Amino acid sequence: MRNIHRFLAGLLALCLLWTPALATGQDPVLTWRQEGDGIVLTLKGLEDKLSALQAELTLEGECPNASFTPASRDVYSPDCLVNAGQGQTSVTICLTAEGDSLMEGRTLSLGTLYPGGSCTLPARASLVLLDRSLRPLEGGSIRVQLREDTGSGSGGGSSSGSRPLRRVRTAETEHGSLSVRPSSAAEGATVTITPLPDSGYVLDSLTVTDSQGRSIRTVSAAARSYTFTMPGRDVEVKAVFAPGDGSLPFLDIEPGAWCYDAVRRVYEMGLMNGTSATAFTPNAATNRGMIVAILYRLEGSPAAGSSGFSDVAPGAYYASAVAWAVQNGIVNGYDDNTFRPGNRITREQLAAFLYRYVRYKGGDVSDRADLSAFTDAGQIASYAVEPLQWANAQGLVNGTSAATLSPGGSATRAQAAVILTRLMENVL
Protein backbone atom coordinates (compact mmCIF):
# COMPACT_ATOMS: atom_id res chain seq x y z
CA MET A 1 0.00 0.00 0.00
CA ARG A 2 1.31 3.45 -0.81
CA ASN A 3 2.83 5.45 2.01
CA ILE A 4 -0.10 7.52 3.20
CA HIS A 5 2.04 10.24 4.76
CA ARG A 6 3.86 10.82 1.49
CA PHE A 7 0.49 10.97 -0.27
CA LEU A 8 -0.87 13.46 2.25
CA ALA A 9 2.17 15.68 1.94
CA GLY A 10 0.71 16.98 -1.30
CA LEU A 11 -2.29 18.30 0.58
CA LEU A 12 -0.45 20.85 2.77
CA ALA A 13 -2.26 23.86 1.40
CA LEU A 14 -5.60 22.42 2.42
CA CYS A 15 -4.81 22.51 6.17
CA LEU A 16 -5.55 25.82 7.87
CA LEU A 17 -4.88 26.89 11.47
CA TRP A 18 -3.96 24.11 13.86
CA THR A 19 -4.35 23.78 17.58
CA PRO A 20 -3.11 20.60 19.31
CA ALA A 21 -5.92 18.08 19.79
CA LEU A 22 -5.40 15.04 21.94
CA ALA A 23 -7.81 12.71 23.65
CA THR A 24 -8.65 13.87 27.16
CA GLY A 25 -10.30 12.00 29.98
CA GLN A 26 -11.96 8.87 28.69
CA ASP A 27 -10.33 7.18 25.70
CA PRO A 28 -11.92 8.07 22.36
CA VAL A 29 -14.39 5.64 20.81
CA LEU A 30 -15.20 5.04 17.15
CA THR A 31 -18.87 4.11 16.90
CA TRP A 32 -20.57 2.53 13.91
CA ARG A 33 -24.13 2.24 12.69
CA GLN A 34 -25.38 0.11 9.79
CA GLU A 35 -27.32 2.03 7.11
CA GLY A 36 -28.11 -0.08 4.06
CA ASP A 37 -24.84 -1.11 2.40
CA GLY A 38 -22.89 1.45 4.41
CA ILE A 39 -21.40 1.68 7.89
CA VAL A 40 -21.66 5.18 9.40
CA LEU A 41 -18.57 6.00 11.50
CA THR A 42 -18.53 8.61 14.30
CA LEU A 43 -15.55 9.50 16.50
CA LYS A 44 -16.31 10.52 20.09
CA GLY A 45 -14.08 11.76 22.89
CA LEU A 46 -11.57 14.18 21.29
CA GLU A 47 -10.91 17.86 21.87
CA ASP A 48 -12.68 20.21 19.46
CA LYS A 49 -9.57 21.61 17.72
CA LEU A 50 -8.28 19.19 15.11
CA SER A 51 -7.05 19.93 11.61
CA ALA A 52 -6.57 16.47 10.16
CA LEU A 53 -6.59 12.81 11.03
CA GLN A 54 -5.98 9.38 9.59
CA ALA A 55 -7.99 6.30 10.63
CA GLU A 56 -6.84 2.77 9.84
CA LEU A 57 -9.12 -0.26 10.10
CA THR A 58 -8.30 -3.88 9.41
CA LEU A 59 -11.46 -5.73 8.40
CA GLU A 60 -11.90 -9.48 8.53
CA GLY A 61 -12.63 -10.66 4.98
CA GLU A 62 -11.43 -9.48 1.58
CA CYS A 63 -13.27 -6.39 0.30
CA PRO A 64 -11.10 -4.87 -2.46
CA ASN A 65 -13.93 -2.57 -3.61
CA ALA A 66 -14.36 -0.82 -0.26
CA SER A 67 -14.98 2.93 -0.47
CA PHE A 68 -15.62 5.85 1.86
CA THR A 69 -17.81 8.98 1.64
CA PRO A 70 -17.14 11.79 4.16
CA ALA A 71 -20.07 13.10 6.20
CA SER A 72 -19.30 16.77 5.58
CA ARG A 73 -18.63 18.74 2.43
CA ASP A 74 -16.38 21.06 4.47
CA VAL A 75 -13.56 18.54 4.62
CA TYR A 76 -11.14 17.16 2.09
CA SER A 77 -11.02 13.38 1.94
CA PRO A 78 -9.08 11.63 -0.84
CA ASP A 79 -10.17 8.17 -1.90
CA CYS A 80 -9.57 5.74 0.93
CA LEU A 81 -6.62 3.41 0.46
CA VAL A 82 -7.60 -0.25 0.33
CA ASN A 83 -5.34 -3.30 0.47
CA ALA A 84 -7.11 -6.68 0.47
CA GLY A 85 -5.49 -10.09 0.74
CA GLN A 86 -4.97 -13.14 2.91
CA GLY A 87 -8.46 -12.92 4.36
CA GLN A 88 -8.19 -9.31 5.52
CA THR A 89 -8.77 -5.80 4.20
CA SER A 90 -6.80 -2.76 5.35
CA VAL A 91 -8.69 0.53 4.90
CA THR A 92 -7.05 3.93 5.49
CA ILE A 93 -9.33 6.98 5.72
CA CYS A 94 -8.01 10.57 5.73
CA LEU A 95 -9.85 13.78 6.59
CA THR A 96 -8.49 17.34 6.36
CA ALA A 97 -10.35 20.44 7.56
CA GLU A 98 -11.14 23.10 4.99
CA GLY A 99 -12.03 25.40 7.89
CA ASP A 100 -10.56 25.94 11.33
CA SER A 101 -11.32 22.48 12.68
CA LEU A 102 -12.77 19.10 11.84
CA MET A 103 -14.57 18.90 15.17
CA GLU A 104 -17.84 20.21 16.56
CA GLY A 105 -17.52 19.74 20.30
CA ARG A 106 -15.97 16.35 21.04
CA THR A 107 -17.86 14.43 18.35
CA LEU A 108 -16.81 14.04 14.71
CA SER A 109 -18.98 12.37 12.09
CA LEU A 110 -16.37 10.78 9.83
CA GLY A 111 -18.66 9.49 7.10
CA THR A 112 -19.83 6.20 5.62
CA LEU A 113 -17.68 3.18 4.85
CA TYR A 114 -19.00 0.93 2.07
CA PRO A 115 -17.24 -2.45 2.37
CA GLY A 116 -18.51 -3.61 -1.02
CA GLY A 117 -18.42 -7.21 0.21
CA SER A 118 -18.69 -9.45 3.25
CA CYS A 119 -16.35 -8.01 5.85
CA THR A 120 -16.46 -7.83 9.64
CA LEU A 121 -15.42 -4.76 11.61
CA PRO A 122 -12.56 -5.17 14.11
CA ALA A 123 -12.88 -4.48 17.84
CA ARG A 124 -10.24 -1.73 17.66
CA ALA A 125 -8.78 0.65 15.09
CA SER A 126 -5.71 2.87 14.79
CA LEU A 127 -6.10 6.64 14.81
CA VAL A 128 -3.37 9.13 13.90
CA LEU A 129 -3.89 12.83 14.71
CA LEU A 130 -2.07 15.14 12.30
CA ASP A 131 -0.75 18.70 12.53
CA ARG A 132 -1.10 21.51 9.99
CA SER A 133 1.78 19.99 7.98
CA LEU A 134 -0.01 16.64 8.04
CA ARG A 135 2.64 15.12 10.26
CA PRO A 136 1.61 12.91 13.19
CA LEU A 137 1.34 14.78 16.48
CA GLU A 138 3.51 13.72 19.37
CA GLY A 139 1.43 11.14 21.19
CA GLY A 140 -1.19 11.41 18.48
CA SER A 141 -1.06 7.76 17.41
CA ILE A 142 -3.70 6.01 19.48
CA ARG A 143 -5.84 2.89 19.45
CA VAL A 144 -9.60 3.38 19.68
CA GLN A 145 -12.41 0.97 20.40
CA LEU A 146 -15.13 0.29 17.85
CA ARG A 147 -18.62 0.04 19.27
CA GLU A 148 -22.05 -0.10 17.72
CA ASP A 149 -24.04 3.11 18.07
CA THR A 150 -27.33 1.91 19.55
CA GLY A 151 -28.79 5.39 19.87
CA SER A 152 -29.05 4.98 23.64
CA GLY A 153 -27.19 8.21 24.35
CA SER A 154 -24.59 6.44 26.45
CA GLY A 155 -21.79 8.15 24.55
CA GLY A 156 -20.29 5.19 22.77
CA GLY A 157 -22.53 2.22 22.16
CA SER A 158 -23.96 -0.74 24.00
CA SER A 159 -22.53 -2.24 27.13
CA SER A 160 -22.19 -5.57 25.38
CA GLY A 161 -19.73 -4.12 22.88
CA SER A 162 -19.77 -4.18 19.08
CA ARG A 163 -21.98 -6.67 17.31
CA PRO A 164 -20.14 -8.12 14.30
CA LEU A 165 -21.43 -7.95 10.76
CA ARG A 166 -22.74 -11.31 9.57
CA ARG A 167 -22.49 -12.44 5.97
CA VAL A 168 -25.39 -12.89 3.58
CA ARG A 169 -24.43 -15.54 1.03
CA THR A 170 -26.40 -16.28 -2.13
CA ALA A 171 -26.59 -19.82 -3.41
CA GLU A 172 -25.91 -20.52 -7.05
CA THR A 173 -29.09 -20.63 -9.09
CA GLU A 174 -30.21 -21.09 -12.68
CA HIS A 175 -32.43 -18.90 -14.85
CA GLY A 176 -31.98 -15.81 -12.72
CA SER A 177 -29.98 -14.11 -10.00
CA LEU A 178 -30.44 -12.34 -6.68
CA SER A 179 -29.68 -8.80 -5.60
CA VAL A 180 -29.08 -8.67 -1.83
CA ARG A 181 -28.56 -5.40 0.05
CA PRO A 182 -26.62 -5.20 2.27
CA SER A 183 -24.34 -8.18 1.72
CA SER A 184 -23.35 -8.15 5.39
CA ALA A 185 -25.30 -6.83 8.36
CA ALA A 186 -25.44 -6.72 12.13
CA GLU A 187 -28.03 -8.68 14.05
CA GLY A 188 -31.41 -6.96 13.87
CA ALA A 189 -30.69 -5.09 10.61
CA THR A 190 -33.10 -5.31 7.67
CA VAL A 191 -31.84 -7.05 4.52
CA THR A 192 -33.59 -6.63 1.17
CA ILE A 193 -33.66 -9.37 -1.50
CA THR A 194 -34.69 -8.66 -5.08
CA PRO A 195 -35.04 -11.74 -7.32
CA LEU A 196 -33.98 -11.07 -10.92
CA PRO A 197 -35.42 -13.81 -13.15
CA ASP A 198 -34.19 -14.33 -16.70
CA SER A 199 -36.58 -13.57 -19.52
CA GLY A 200 -39.43 -16.09 -19.56
CA TYR A 201 -38.90 -17.16 -15.95
CA VAL A 202 -40.54 -16.21 -12.67
CA LEU A 203 -39.62 -16.72 -9.02
CA ASP A 204 -40.88 -20.08 -7.82
CA SER A 205 -39.49 -20.12 -4.26
CA LEU A 206 -37.24 -18.08 -2.00
CA THR A 207 -35.66 -19.39 1.21
CA VAL A 208 -33.35 -17.87 3.81
CA THR A 209 -31.58 -20.11 6.32
CA ASP A 210 -28.97 -19.38 8.98
CA SER A 211 -25.71 -21.26 9.44
CA GLN A 212 -27.46 -23.80 11.68
CA GLY A 213 -30.09 -24.58 9.03
CA ARG A 214 -32.89 -22.62 10.71
CA SER A 215 -35.42 -20.96 8.42
CA ILE A 216 -35.60 -17.14 8.49
CA ARG A 217 -38.95 -15.52 7.78
CA THR A 218 -39.15 -13.23 4.74
CA VAL A 219 -41.69 -10.46 4.18
CA SER A 220 -42.93 -9.29 0.78
CA ALA A 221 -41.93 -5.70 0.05
CA ALA A 222 -42.42 -3.21 -2.77
CA ALA A 223 -41.33 -3.85 -6.36
CA ARG A 224 -41.36 -7.64 -5.94
CA SER A 225 -38.65 -7.49 -3.31
CA TYR A 226 -38.49 -9.27 0.04
CA THR A 227 -36.98 -8.38 3.40
CA PHE A 228 -35.83 -10.29 6.46
CA THR A 229 -34.32 -9.43 9.82
CA MET A 230 -30.69 -10.43 10.16
CA PRO A 231 -30.07 -13.04 12.88
CA GLY A 232 -26.87 -13.33 14.89
CA ARG A 233 -25.40 -15.81 12.39
CA ASP A 234 -24.41 -15.90 8.73
CA VAL A 235 -27.28 -16.70 6.38
CA GLU A 236 -27.74 -18.17 2.91
CA VAL A 237 -30.37 -16.99 0.44
CA LYS A 238 -31.59 -19.43 -2.19
CA ALA A 239 -34.00 -18.84 -5.06
CA VAL A 240 -35.61 -21.21 -7.54
CA PHE A 241 -36.84 -19.80 -10.85
CA ALA A 242 -39.41 -21.60 -13.00
CA PRO A 243 -40.68 -20.98 -16.54
CA GLY A 244 -43.48 -18.44 -16.66
CA ASP A 245 -46.52 -18.65 -18.89
CA GLY A 246 -44.94 -16.06 -21.17
CA SER A 247 -47.91 -13.71 -21.14
CA LEU A 248 -48.39 -10.17 -19.95
CA PRO A 249 -51.57 -8.75 -18.39
CA PHE A 250 -51.39 -5.69 -20.64
CA LEU A 251 -53.84 -5.36 -23.51
CA ASP A 252 -51.91 -2.61 -25.29
CA ILE A 253 -48.84 -4.75 -26.15
CA GLU A 254 -49.40 -7.65 -28.50
CA PRO A 255 -47.18 -10.76 -28.42
CA GLY A 256 -44.56 -10.35 -31.14
CA ALA A 257 -44.35 -6.57 -30.73
CA TRP A 258 -40.80 -5.19 -30.92
CA CYS A 259 -40.78 -4.36 -27.21
CA TYR A 260 -42.83 -7.31 -25.90
CA ASP A 261 -39.99 -9.46 -24.55
CA ALA A 262 -38.27 -6.46 -22.95
CA VAL A 263 -41.47 -5.29 -21.26
CA ARG A 264 -42.10 -8.80 -19.98
CA ARG A 265 -38.56 -8.95 -18.58
CA VAL A 266 -38.72 -5.66 -16.68
CA TYR A 267 -42.27 -6.40 -15.51
CA GLU A 268 -41.35 -9.87 -14.20
CA MET A 269 -38.37 -8.37 -12.38
CA GLY A 270 -40.51 -5.67 -10.78
CA LEU A 271 -38.52 -2.86 -12.42
CA MET A 272 -41.49 -1.41 -14.30
CA ASN A 273 -45.18 -1.79 -13.62
CA GLY A 274 -48.21 -1.07 -15.73
CA THR A 275 -50.04 2.24 -15.74
CA SER A 276 -53.11 0.18 -14.80
CA ALA A 277 -53.89 -3.50 -14.28
CA THR A 278 -54.35 -4.01 -18.03
CA ALA A 279 -52.26 -1.23 -19.64
CA PHE A 280 -48.54 -0.58 -19.97
CA THR A 281 -48.91 2.55 -22.15
CA PRO A 282 -45.74 1.85 -24.15
CA ASN A 283 -45.72 5.15 -26.06
CA ALA A 284 -45.98 7.41 -23.01
CA ALA A 285 -42.88 9.44 -22.22
CA THR A 286 -40.80 8.57 -19.17
CA ASN A 287 -39.72 11.20 -16.68
CA ARG A 288 -36.68 11.72 -14.48
CA GLY A 289 -38.32 10.32 -11.37
CA MET A 290 -39.40 7.12 -13.17
CA ILE A 291 -35.94 6.30 -14.51
CA VAL A 292 -34.22 6.91 -11.17
CA ALA A 293 -36.82 4.69 -9.45
CA ILE A 294 -36.16 1.90 -11.97
CA LEU A 295 -32.38 2.00 -11.40
CA TYR A 296 -33.01 2.06 -7.65
CA ARG A 297 -35.15 -1.09 -7.90
CA LEU A 298 -32.51 -2.73 -10.07
CA GLU A 299 -30.01 -2.04 -7.29
CA GLY A 300 -32.28 -3.74 -4.74
CA SER A 301 -33.80 -0.59 -3.19
CA PRO A 302 -31.02 0.08 -0.62
CA ALA A 303 -31.65 2.31 2.38
CA ALA A 304 -31.35 6.02 1.64
CA GLY A 305 -31.99 9.24 3.49
CA SER A 306 -33.30 12.51 2.08
CA SER A 307 -32.17 14.07 -1.18
CA GLY A 308 -32.69 17.61 0.10
CA PHE A 309 -34.38 18.77 -3.11
CA SER A 310 -37.25 21.19 -2.55
CA ASP A 311 -39.50 19.46 -5.09
CA VAL A 312 -38.99 15.85 -3.92
CA ALA A 313 -41.68 15.14 -1.34
CA PRO A 314 -40.63 12.63 1.36
CA GLY A 315 -43.60 10.37 0.58
CA ALA A 316 -43.13 10.28 -3.21
CA TYR A 317 -42.50 6.85 -4.73
CA TYR A 318 -39.19 8.11 -6.12
CA ALA A 319 -38.00 9.96 -2.95
CA SER A 320 -35.63 7.26 -1.66
CA ALA A 321 -34.49 6.52 -5.21
CA VAL A 322 -33.48 10.15 -5.83
CA ALA A 323 -31.68 10.32 -2.48
CA TRP A 324 -29.75 7.12 -3.28
CA ALA A 325 -28.89 8.27 -6.80
CA VAL A 326 -27.64 11.68 -5.64
CA GLN A 327 -25.57 10.18 -2.83
CA ASN A 328 -23.84 7.88 -5.32
CA GLY A 329 -23.21 10.45 -8.06
CA ILE A 330 -25.71 8.95 -10.51
CA VAL A 331 -27.92 12.02 -10.92
CA ASN A 332 -27.66 15.74 -10.28
CA GLY A 333 -30.19 18.44 -9.52
CA TYR A 334 -30.56 21.96 -10.86
CA ASP A 335 -29.08 25.20 -9.57
CA ASP A 336 -32.34 26.18 -7.83
CA ASN A 337 -32.16 23.08 -5.56
CA THR A 338 -34.78 21.18 -7.56
CA PHE A 339 -34.63 17.77 -9.19
CA ARG A 340 -37.74 18.19 -11.39
CA PRO A 341 -38.79 14.53 -11.18
CA GLY A 342 -41.85 15.09 -13.36
CA ASN A 343 -39.88 16.48 -16.29
CA ARG A 344 -39.65 14.14 -19.25
CA ILE A 345 -36.22 12.58 -19.43
CA THR A 346 -34.26 13.34 -22.57
CA ARG A 347 -32.22 10.76 -24.40
CA GLU A 348 -28.97 12.44 -23.36
CA GLN A 349 -30.08 12.56 -19.70
CA LEU A 350 -30.97 8.88 -19.86
CA ALA A 351 -27.53 8.08 -21.31
CA ALA A 352 -25.89 10.07 -18.50
CA PHE A 353 -27.92 8.26 -15.81
CA LEU A 354 -27.01 4.85 -17.22
CA TYR A 355 -23.36 5.79 -17.70
CA ARG A 356 -23.02 6.92 -14.09
CA TYR A 357 -24.92 3.90 -12.79
CA VAL A 358 -22.58 1.47 -14.56
CA ARG A 359 -19.59 3.48 -13.32
CA TYR A 360 -21.02 3.31 -9.77
CA LYS A 361 -21.29 -0.47 -10.18
CA GLY A 362 -17.61 -0.63 -11.10
CA GLY A 363 -18.29 -1.44 -14.76
CA ASP A 364 -16.15 -0.49 -17.75
CA VAL A 365 -17.37 2.78 -19.28
CA SER A 366 -14.34 3.41 -21.50
CA ASP A 367 -15.93 2.51 -24.87
CA ARG A 368 -16.63 5.49 -27.13
CA ALA A 369 -18.52 5.62 -30.43
CA ASP A 370 -17.85 8.23 -33.10
CA LEU A 371 -21.02 10.35 -33.25
CA SER A 372 -19.80 12.72 -35.96
CA ALA A 373 -21.99 11.05 -38.59
CA PHE A 374 -25.10 12.34 -36.81
CA THR A 375 -26.01 15.80 -38.07
CA ASP A 376 -27.32 16.85 -34.64
CA ALA A 377 -24.25 15.72 -32.67
CA GLY A 378 -23.44 19.37 -32.02
CA GLN A 379 -26.66 19.67 -30.01
CA ILE A 380 -25.44 17.28 -27.33
CA ALA A 381 -24.93 19.01 -23.98
CA SER A 382 -21.31 18.99 -22.82
CA TYR A 383 -22.04 16.80 -19.77
CA ALA A 384 -23.66 14.16 -22.00
CA VAL A 385 -21.05 13.83 -24.76
CA GLU A 386 -19.07 10.98 -23.21
CA PRO A 387 -22.17 9.21 -21.78
CA LEU A 388 -23.83 9.25 -25.22
CA GLN A 389 -20.65 8.07 -26.94
CA TRP A 390 -20.52 5.18 -24.47
CA ALA A 391 -24.25 4.40 -24.65
CA ASN A 392 -24.15 4.38 -28.45
CA ALA A 393 -21.09 2.11 -28.46
CA GLN A 394 -22.97 -0.30 -26.16
CA GLY A 395 -26.08 -0.27 -28.37
CA LEU A 396 -28.18 1.27 -25.60
CA VAL A 397 -29.03 4.58 -27.25
CA ASN A 398 -29.04 4.36 -31.03
CA GLY A 399 -29.89 6.96 -33.65
CA THR A 400 -33.51 7.88 -34.29
CA SER A 401 -32.55 7.75 -37.97
CA ALA A 402 -29.39 7.12 -39.94
CA ALA A 403 -28.49 10.80 -39.64
CA THR A 404 -29.99 11.93 -36.32
CA LEU A 405 -29.40 11.06 -32.68
CA SER A 406 -32.05 13.38 -31.17
CA PRO A 407 -30.23 13.98 -27.85
CA GLY A 408 -33.04 16.21 -26.59
CA GLY A 409 -35.79 13.82 -27.64
CA SER A 410 -37.96 11.82 -25.26
CA ALA A 411 -37.61 8.19 -24.26
CA THR A 412 -40.89 6.27 -24.20
CA ARG A 413 -41.77 3.59 -21.68
CA ALA A 414 -41.29 0.92 -24.34
CA GLN A 415 -37.89 2.32 -25.28
CA ALA A 416 -36.89 2.47 -21.61
CA ALA A 417 -37.83 -1.21 -21.18
CA VAL A 418 -35.72 -2.21 -24.19
CA ILE A 419 -32.74 -0.09 -23.10
CA LEU A 420 -32.85 -1.51 -19.58
CA THR A 421 -32.99 -5.04 -20.91
CA ARG A 422 -29.96 -4.42 -23.12
CA LEU A 423 -28.17 -2.91 -20.14
CA MET A 424 -28.77 -6.00 -17.99
CA GLU A 425 -27.98 -8.51 -20.73
CA ASN A 426 -25.00 -6.86 -22.39
CA VAL A 427 -23.38 -4.48 -19.91
CA LEU A 428 -23.96 -5.38 -16.27
Asked if 92 and 212 sit in the same domain, the reply is: no
Q: Are residues 236 and 272 in the same domain?
A: no
DSSP category for residue 386: H
Could you tell me the CATH number of the domain that includes residue 221?
2.60.40
Q: What is the mean pLDDT of the chain?
A: 79
The half-sphere exposure of 47 on its side-chain side, counting CA atoms within 13 A, is: 13
Name the pLDDT band for 20 (thresholds 50, 70, 90). Answer: very low
Q: Which domain holds residue 78?
A: 4-148
Q: Is the pLDDT of residue 388 over 90?
A: yes
Are 419 and 285 within one domain?
A: yes
pLDDT of residue 100: 65
Confidence of residue 368 (pLDDT cuts 50, 70, 90): very high
Quickly state the pLDDT bin for 353 (edges 50, 70, 90).
very high
313 against 2, higher pLDDT? 313
Residue at 94 is within a domain:
yes
Please report whether residue 65 resides in a domain: yes
Per-residue pLDDT tens over the stretch 241-261: 888 766 788 889 888 899 998
Whether the pLDDT of residue 191 is over 80: the answer is yes
Q: How confident is the model at residue 213 (pLDDT cuts 50, 70, 90)?
A: confident
Average pLDDT over residues 286-293: 91
Q: Are residues 321 and 207 in the same domain?
A: no
165: DSSP letter:
P
Query: Among 120-134, 207-221, 264-278, 354-368, which stretch is predicted with the lowest mean pLDDT?
Result: 120-134
pLDDT band at residue 181, thresholds of 50, 70 and 90? confident
Amino acid identity of residue 295, one-letter, is: L
Does 173 share its domain with 139?
no
- Read off the pLDDT of each residue in 113-128 and give the average, rounded to a whole number: 78
The set of residues, in sequence order, having a beta carbon less than 8 Å from that of 52 and lying 6+ positions away, is 8, 15, 94, 95, 96, 97, 102, 129, 130, 131, 132, 134
Give residue 223's pLDDT band: very low, low, confident or very high (50, 70, 90). low
Asked if the structure places residue 156 within a domain, the reply is no
- Among 176, 364, 406, smallest CA distance to 269 is for 176
Alpha carbon distance 193, 184 (integer Å) = 12
Q: pLDDT: is 156 or 191 the higher one?
A: 191
Residue where a domain stops, chosen among 87, 113, 148: 148
| Residue of higher predicted confidence among 179 and 324 | 324
Amino acid at 403: A
| Residue-level pLDDT at 17 | 28
Report residue 105's pLDDT band, with 50, 70 and 90 as the boundaries: low
pLDDT for 221: 66
Q: Does 297 share its domain with 380?
A: yes
* Strand runs labelled E in 230-339: 235-243
Q: Is residue 173 part of a domain?
A: yes
304 and 185 share one domain: no
Q: Please tell me which of 185-199, 236-250, 329-343 the model is most confident about, judged by mean pLDDT.
A: 329-343
Q: Are residues 278 and 369 in the same domain?
A: yes
Give dist(CA 223, CA 318) in Å, integer: 12
| Whether residue 107 sits in one domain with residue 235 | no
Both 273 and 412 in one domain: the answer is yes
Do 230 and 290 lie in one domain? The reply is: no
> How high is the pLDDT of residue 236?
92
The pLDDT score that the predictor gives to residue 414 is: 92
Q: E strands along 164-265, which residues?
A: 166-170, 176-181, 184-185, 190-197, 201-210, 219-220, 226-229, 235-243
Instruction: Look at residue 158 and tell me whether its pLDDT is greater than 70.
Output: no
Q: What is the pLDDT of residue 222?
A: 57
The highest-confidence range among 101-105, 123-127, 264-268, by mean pLDDT, is 264-268
Write down the pLDDT at residue 25.
47
Q: Which of 243, 272, 295 is the last residue of a domain?
A: 243
Does a structural domain hold residue 159? no
Number of domains in the chain: 3
Does pLDDT of 141 surpass 50?
yes
Axis crossing angle, helix 413-426 with helix 288-298, rounded to the nearest 10: 30
Does residue 157 lie in a domain region? no
pLDDT number for residue 159: 34
User: Which range among 16-20, 50-54, 131-135, 235-239 has the greatest average pLDDT?
Assistant: 235-239
| Claim to verify: residue 132 and residue 181 sit in the same structural domain | no
Q: Confirm if 191 and 181 have CB atoms less than 8 A apart.
A: yes
- Evaluate whether residue 250 is within a structural domain: no
Question: Is the per-residue pLDDT at 13 higher than 90?
Answer: no
Backbone torsions φ then ψ of 228, nearest 5 degrees: -150, 160
- Phi then psi for residue 392, to 5 deg, are -70, -40
pLDDT at 209: 94
In angstroms, the CA 367 to CA 52 distance is: 39
Percent with pLDDT over 70 in the chain: 83
pLDDT at 386: 93
Q: Does some domain include residue 78?
A: yes
Residue 156 has pLDDT above 50, yes or no: no
**pLDDT score, position 316:** 84
Distance CA 373, CA 375 (A): 6
- What predicted TM-score, i.e. pTM, was given to this entire model? 0.52
